[in-house]
Structure 1
Amino acid sequence: MIRNPILPGFNPDPSICRVGQDYYIATSTFEWYPGVQIHHSLDLVNWTLVRRPLERASQLDMRGNPDSCGIWAPCLSHADGLFWLVYTDVKRYDGNFKDAHNFIVTSPTIDGEWSDPVYVNSSGFDPSVFHDDDGRKWIVNMQWNHRTESYGGAPKSPAFDGILLQEWDAETKSLKGPIKNIFAGSPLGLVEGPHLFKRKGWYYLTTAEGGTGYDHAVTMARSRSIDGPYEMHPNMHLITSKDAPEAVLQRAGHGQYVETPDGQVYHTHLCGRPMPPKRRCTLGRETALQKCVWKDDDWLYLAQRGVVPDVEVPAPTDVEVTEQPARNETLFESGPLPTDFQWLRTPQPERIFSLSERPGHLRLYGRESVGSWFEQALVARRQEHHSFRAETTVDFSPDTYQQVAGLTHYYNRHKFHALVVTMHEKLGRVVTIFSCPGDFPHGRMVFPADSGVAAPDGPVDLAMEIKENDLQFFWRPASGGGWQAIGPVLDAGVISDEGGRGEHGSFTGAFAGMLAFDTSGRARPADFSRFVYERLEG
């Protein structure tokens, strides 16, 4: 069986592509660098991260991008001996405008170097490229209408002004011909995330609707002509949990169709797994996969009937599930950053971290504050379980309270908890807690451990245990001694899509990682020798 989600933790907007026996899924990364995650599978059951293709300044620079902007909704395809990746870089979130710029990059191989981007348009986000069987290529994307009351966190349907279609000229690498609005969406509204495919002379269009919260859905339509008119699916929606609050997989929508070599059919979708009692999705939007069937009316349906996604669905073939280890310990060595980890926004990672400056350590250079949208030294990995423990060992010698380094449970500048080492005027070097529990728009930080506790010289071990909605920090001298709890139990559930400003307010996911900042401007380094992520039961 395929057990959903197939990509746990922050992996939204899944675009799936099959090339021969190989399946690939591309997902959004928003402000996290490098851009776009691509996972690979041979069986639709076991998936491995193989590439983040947007990895250099000529491809992507997100310095200044607000939280939950950056890379939205990539579409991955294969044609003419190349992999094609089309995506949006969103430069604004709040207010009426989005400033959403769409680009294409290509590569002959998934794991090779990808091209510099070719500009497509800026009329809206969620672009997709469709390679027709006559050799022509088409771009579809939603159109954004700024003349509405829609703004960040409060989407309104009139801003989502239909799905645009225009031909792409692969020779000149530019759009050509008329722009046509081919689909206004269903009555559910907020139409976005378009993907086209063709079968038996029908052009099928799947879109995401209802917003990316609890009313989310995959809507399906078809036409004999690529530019419409499109008729709606008999059920209107192919996949949705909007009328099934008891379903495990909520917020189901935004996905893409794929066929196996022997003609079986599946459809990806994003989903969320809310935690009671506040229905907050602490793992963000994850990727799931549903088995589908074609019926005599040439419409696609879920194999289990209805529209509500299942946690377990039949795999194409019998295959063993590869269990991931419960504990993952990273010891930092020279070379590239281990693939579990990412950083924020900047294409100049050498300014925020080094794996060679002090062998056996990840050195973070304290730059701007934990709330910066420009240059922030924060290296982290996705939270993949509702309950987990993270540990790190940091060697850090601050000489002012403006220099800070430690362990963080992080979502964005308004939603984070951090256990840090810093300097206090009277206590000397201390371990204390910085927390921003979802206060918007001010981003007000609080200090649950007050001034903290004095820490002896030398490296310090820091830890946190997240058990569903609760977070407890711990510390000890690395030279020995038992773990000591510090501060009260904090609200881990605020580190979620729904935390703070609420549903539709942000779209990424929870991370566990290491941070450093130095607002004096002297770039005080902090050295981390290890990072542990361990799944906890319950």
Structure 2
Amino acid sequence: MTVLHNPVLRGFFPDPSLVRVGEWYYVATSSFEWFPTLPIHRSRDLAHWEYAGHVRGAVPGDSLAGVPDSGGVWAPSLSWDGERFWVTYAVVRSVGTPYFDADTYVSTAPDVSGPWSPPRRVASHGFDPALYHEAGRLWLLNLQNDHRPGGQRFAGIVATELDRDTLAPVGDTHLLLQHDRLVEGPKLLRRDGWYYLVLAEGGTGWEHGVRVARGRALTGPYELDERPLLTTRDDPGVPLQKAGHGELFQAPDGTWLLSHLTARPLHTPHGRRCTLGRETAIQAVVWDADGWPRLRQEGWHPAVEVEVPAPHSPPPPSAPPEGLSWPWSTLRGPVDRSWADTSSRPGWIRLRGRHGPESRWAHSLLAQRVTEHRAEAEVTVEARPSAFTQAAGLVLRYDAEAYVGLDLTWAEPEGEPQRGQQWRDAGRTVLSLVARDERGARQVAVVDVATAKVTLGVTVDGTAALFWYATDGTRTTVGPALDISHLSDDHGARLRFTGLLAGIHATDLVDAAWTADFTGFRLMCTAEERPRALTRG
């Protein structure tokens, strides 16, 4: 047996959809406003995962420009019909409104690395769709969203048969189940003459869970299991919180398992905060005498360590991606050589400044997921700003209203007010530390630097982030340690669904032509002390 340690995908990897094809397991996760869209990882042993590609072209036109924070590409469902991979997902263009303005798409590919077919829009009842394949037929499951005032927003689970070639609806849409508590994210499987609906229950926060219903016919009626399969809503002390959004699957030896999302909260004076976002975990499942799935460890709380079947053969070695591909991510569009260039200066990344860090349109940003509560990032930047509208540096980012960053920029001479005097010869090059929350941005500290080339860094310990710089190898801190608990899913009143990333960015608000060069980016995330994954005979 192999012992895995949850979460198996750590950091911003929510809403997992896991499928096994042969001896490989594949999992797709949500990407929201980030590119690459719908990253896919693969594993042979369920404990060790590697990036395997993404659904390229998932967004028509390859643009999410203008989409709000935590909008974009939600909750994929990955499946295999024996010949090709299928994926369905919603592109959500409104967040915090009753409409969602979601379009549901379907794409297929011979391999998860692609090529993926151009996305085709299908019936779009709500978000978190799924596909079910049976005897050559194709069914689309979805949450039904009722936007009307006074209505039940999440008005049940529906299923529509689709023509496999045209993806047009075949016959009527069927209402499968309604429930007093919010249910969404339906997944369907058949076992021993029963159709089982695996449902995300209670919303994706602290009340999250997995609930199962079953019926003798695909179109219902369905009866709900009297108890949850998985949840932590009853115990805030469980290490893995927010457990929900599950999918059942089988190992080659017939063992049943459950993939699900989870989160590792930090306990702060402001309450629990999940700075890393929602992550991917796996549980072992057994079936009780009445035919309901149960966690192997009994109860409904997720386990951190889980024994799973060992693979028959070790995974082949894989080559790490090169250049500006994974693990780099970009906002609202794929990386574009017009603003992110590696050819002009070998060993360096040249960013052309565009919009500012609060833009929902054209922010020149490259970032990587922070996967542990202790982390350190650093990069060397070389640039010669001549205006306060030009800046480049290192940033910790949750979204456009939640970030902290240390930028190399321009400022007026010491003692002069901020009056846009950059057209004069006078001025100075400074490092500016800025923190942004829902109340706006504030400048925490300003430090003069006498060079155009400087190493910037940040050390993260829980919800404390300390920025620093070095010009001769000696680190000098900039400002105090900052509280970054607002860089989390749980801060504020609005919906937040992503996670913490560290990256580099550049801004030129006037000409969109000024450039900054970066080299030596390093993100080191330190996991808590834990046993290594084991394989036992």
Does TM, normalized by the shorter one, top 0.5?
yes
1:251 and 2:242 aligned:
yes
1:300 and 2:290 aligned:
no
Mean alpha-carbon deviation: is it higher for 175-184 or for 399-408?
Answer: 175-184
1:446 aligned counterpart, secondary structure: strand
Q: Is the 8 A contact 1:35 1:60 kept in 2?
A: no
Deviation at 1:59, TM superposition (A): 5.9
1:419-467 Cα shifts (integer Å, max 9, x gaps): 001000215110111110343xxxx101111xx1111223110000010
Deviation at 1:171, TM superposition (A): 2.0
Q: Is the 8 A contact 1:38 1:52 kept in 2?
A: yes
1:157-196 Cα shifts (integer Å, max 9, x gaps): 92111111100101222222101221113x3x22111111
Match for residue 372 of structure 1?
359
Map 1:196-211 → 2, pairs under 5 A: 196-211=188-203
1:182-228 Cα shifts (integer Å, max 9, x gaps): 1113x3x2211111111111110011111111000111000001111
Supply the distance in 1 between the matched residues of 2:379 and 2:197 (Cα, whole angstroms). Answer: 47
Match for residue 148 of structure 2?
147
Match for residue 127 of structure 1?
129
Map 1:26-425 → 2, pairs under 5 A: 26-55=28-57, 58=60, 60-132=62-134, 134-148=135-149, 158-185=152-179, 187=180, 189-235=181-227, 237-277=228-268, 278-317=271-310, 336-347=323-334, 349-425=336-412
Deviation at 1:528, TM superposition (A): 0.7
Supply the distance in 2 between the matched residues of 1:56 and 1:522 (Cα, whole angstroms). Answer: 28
2:152 aligned counterpart, secondary structure: helix
Q: Is the 8 A contact 2:59 2:91 kept in 1?
A: no
Supply the distance in 1 between the matched residues of 2:13 and 2:104 (Cα, whole angstroms). Answer: 20
Deviation at 1:37, TM superposition (A): 1.2
Supply the distance in 1 between the matched residues of 2:447 and 2:513 (Cα, whole angstroms). Answer: 24
Q: Is the 8 A contact 2:57 2:119 kept in 1?
A: no
The code of the aligned residue for 1:445 comes to A
The code of the aligned residue for 2:256 comes to V
Map 1:436-475 → 2, pairs under 5 A: 436-439=436-439, 444-449=440-445, 452-475=446-469
Supply the distance in 1 between the matched residues of 2:338 and 2:267 (Cα, whole angstroms). Answer: 41
Supply the distance in 2 between the matched residues of 1:3 and 1:71 (Cα, whole angstroms). Answer: 28
Q: Is the 8 A contact 1:408 1:416 kept in 2?
A: yes
Unaligned runs of 5+ in 2: 415-427, 529-537
Supply the distance in 1 between the matched residues of 2:313 and 2:466 (Cα, whole angstroms). Answer: 36
Mean alpha-carbon deviation: is it higher for 526-535 or for 400-409?
Answer: 526-535
1:226 aligned counterpart, secondary structure: coil
Match for residue 510 of structure 2?
520
Q: How many residues align?
A: 507
Deviation at 1:136, TM superposition (A): 1.1
1:48-69 Cα shifts (integer Å, max 9, x gaps): 1111122477463211110000
Supply the distance in 2 between the matched residues of 1:319 and 1:401 (Cα, whole angstroms). Answer: 60
Supply the distance in 1 between the matched residues of 2:438 and 2:244 (Cα, whole angstroms). Answer: 26
Match for residue 531 of structure 2?
none
Cα 1:405–1:111 change in 2 (3 A) is same
Q: Percent of aligned pairs with the same residue?
A: 38
Matching residue within 488, 494, 516 for 1:496: 488
Supply the distance in 2 between the matched residues of 1:529 and 1:459 (Cα, whole angstroms). Answer: 10
Cα 1:396–1:409 change in 2 (3 A) is same
Supply the distance in 1 between the matched residues of 2:231 and 2:326 (Cα, whole angstroms). Answer: 32
Match for residue 153 of structure 1?
none
TM-score (norm 2): 0.91
Q: Is the 8 A contact 2:437 2:486 kept in 1?
A: yes
Structure 1 runs (4+) deviating above 4 angstroms are 55-59, 318-322
Deviation at 1:537, TM superposition (A): 6.9
TM-score (norm 1): 0.91
Deviation at 1:469, TM superposition (A): 1.2
Match for residue 505 of structure 1?
495
Q: Is the 8 A contact 1:283 1:496 kept in 2?
A: yes
The code of the aligned residue for 2:405 comes to A
The code of the aligned residue for 2:274 comes to C
Supply the distance in 1 between the matched residues of 2:229 and 2:443 (Cα, whole angstroms). Answer: 47
Supply the distance in 2 between the matched residues of 1:55 and 1:95 (Cα, whole angstroms). Answer: 26
The code of the aligned residue for 1:35 comes to T
1:256 aligned counterpart, secondary structure: strand
Cα 1:148–1:319 change in 2 (3 A) is farther
Match for residue 420 of structure 2?
none
Deviation at 1:522, TM superposition (A): 3.1
Deviation at 1:234, TM superposition (A): 3.2
